[in-house]
Every structure is written in structure tokens, then in C-alpha cells.
Chain A
Amino acid sequence: MHELVLAESIVDTVTKEIQNRQPAKLVAVFVRIGALTEIVPDALQFGFESLIIDTPLAGAELKIERVPIKGKCKSCGHQFEIEEFLFICPQCYSSDIAMTQGDELEISHLEIE
């Protein structure tokens, strides 16, 4: 349910950004969503589409890039992708893992025409 809060925040940021660039038309908003955030892309998409009806953003697409979780073992230094939230080093079995990506909730860029 908090996907709507995130969608609102995206719409606010983008609205401010394109205000100064009229008459540019917004084509797409690119966001990066890390797997650890447990954000449901469909719900975010739905929230975004609902919020931009009858606004200067109308018709824009939300493009979601899903970022997988990656980690670095603090014991042996091995870097690997974390699947199914298993934070265990496949090389030395240590569970002391630093996350290097997968926590993203970011707007990366806009496409305009």
C-alpha cells in the first residue's frame, strides 16, 4: 500500500523538474528499485498512472529497472549475487555479508520530447 506514497513522491519530484522546462513533454520516468525494498512494481505502476491523469505528466510512462541484491563477504572478500535473500557466502559460508546493491529506491532520469 505504500507504493502509492512512493508514486506520489515520484510525481512531485518530476512535476517540479519539468515545470521549468515547458513546453517539453514528458515521455518517460526511469526509476531503479532494489529487490530488498519489496516494492511491488505493478502497484507502483498503477499508483503512478492513477496520479498523472489530467496533469502535465499525463501519458508519461514509468519505466522500472529492478536491481538485484549483491553482496560482498566480509570474511573472504567474495562478491556475489544474493538470491532468495540468502545472505551467506557461497565460497566460505560466512554470514557476515555487506550489501553492495539492492536497496535502491531512486529516480534515475527523465525522457522528454
Chain B
Amino acid sequence: MAGKISIEKRILFENDKLAEQIRQKLMAKKIVSLNLVSSPGSGKTSLLEKTLAGLGNKLNFALIAGDVQTENDANRLAKAGAKIVRPIVTGGACHLDARMVSRVLDELSLDGVDLLFIENVGNLVCPSNFDLGEDMKVVLISTTEGDDKPLKYPSMFRRSAAMVINKIDLMGFSDFDLSRVKENALKINGNLRIFELSCRTGQGLQSWFDWLLMLVAQAKV
């Protein structure tokens, strides 16, 4: 029986199916979910620590911290006051997938949670193709990196709804050009919402907080 068999299926259909189940579950509970992605060392965990410190008395957070090895990030976040924080150690895998997230969420009671952060593995390539069921991706970049990062990793910047530029207190110590990075990112994604801040000094954090509060308020309507 020689011939052609039509398949027409997404390669990651199992991941995508689970991601959709996660999305439905979170939507039903009116929880905003953000998938935080960046290179290693841009400050994902620091941003979450500051967010917990700044909004911990207004919002209930759940955090999932992905790492290739160690539970260090999750431990830092627990110390920062997160009541619900779970590590995912991928054991070498370069990204989180929906199955890993789904397993963790199944064990959690999400009642009363306003905002779920999923801190992805530090990697600007691989996590981009794996839907985790989040409302949106937030990509983080810092001023100690190259300002051409959006051009080097266009997929991630295209798929993200917001870009956080961290470590702006260190500007001037490198050749990082703030206007160039924004220009590069907006060429790829004209609708990208941009935040400029420093987790170390606290500069610019308030507008990030305001945005999160707005997202939560919108989800409750």
C-alpha cells in the first residue's frame, strides 16, 4: 500500500494540549500567569524577590522556579516571603514544558492566588517554543548584556508581551545603549510593553508593580 498518509498535527501537540488545560484552569480561577524568560543572570529571581517585597501585602503570589540544577532560586524566593513556591529541576533540560508545570500545579491549591509567576530556565532560545499555558511571556534583559540581544533572539522578543530592562543603575559602565535596545526590540515586536528598572536600587519598579496590579484587576472583571 504505497502512498501518502496525511497527519497534519503539531509536533508538540501533547505539550500544547496540556498547556491549554493549564490555561483553562488558571482562567477559571482568575489567576494571571506570567512566564518569565531571560538569559542566565539577567535578574529573574531578583525581580521576583523585589516584586514579592513590593506587592506581597496586596497580592497573593504563586511561584514556580525552573532551574537546570539546584533549588537555589526557589529557596531564595521562599526566604523573600513567597508562601507558595515550588522548584522544578529539569536535570539538564534547557526549558520548562507544560508537563512539568502541570505536575506542579496539580499538587498546589491555587485558591486565593492572584498572580502566578513561572520563572523559566535561563535561556533565550529553547523556552520560546514551549507553551506553558501562561497568559503572556515577559522577557528580561539587563544592561550588562549586548543591546543586540533582541536581534539575536528574535523569536523570544516576538512572543513576549513585555520586556523588562534590568540593572539600569549600571548604565555607563558598559557600551549598552538603552535607545538602541528598545529600537531593536520594537522592530521585532511593535506592541512590546517596556519597563526600565533596577532591582538593586528600586528605580523604576513602581511602574512594573502598577502594570501587574492592572493585569490582576483586569482578570477579576
Contacts and interface: CB of A to CB of B under 8 A. Distances in A.
Contacts of B191: 95-96
Main secondary structure of the interface of B (DSSP, over half): mixed
Contacts of A31: 11
A37 B12 CA distance: 12
Given A37-B129, A95-B187, A85 B6 contact: no
Interface string A11-29: 0011001000100100000
Contacts, number: 99
B12 A6 contact: yes
B155 A9 contact: no
Interface in B167-206: 186-191
Interface residues of B, number: 35
Contact of B5 (A9, A21, A99): A21
Main secondary structure of the interface of A (DSSP, over half): mixed
Nearest to B156: A38
A90 to B, nearest CB: 13
B188 to A, nearest CB: 5
Q: Which 4 A-B pairs have the closest CB atoms?
A: A95-B190, A85-B154, A113-B2, A2-B126
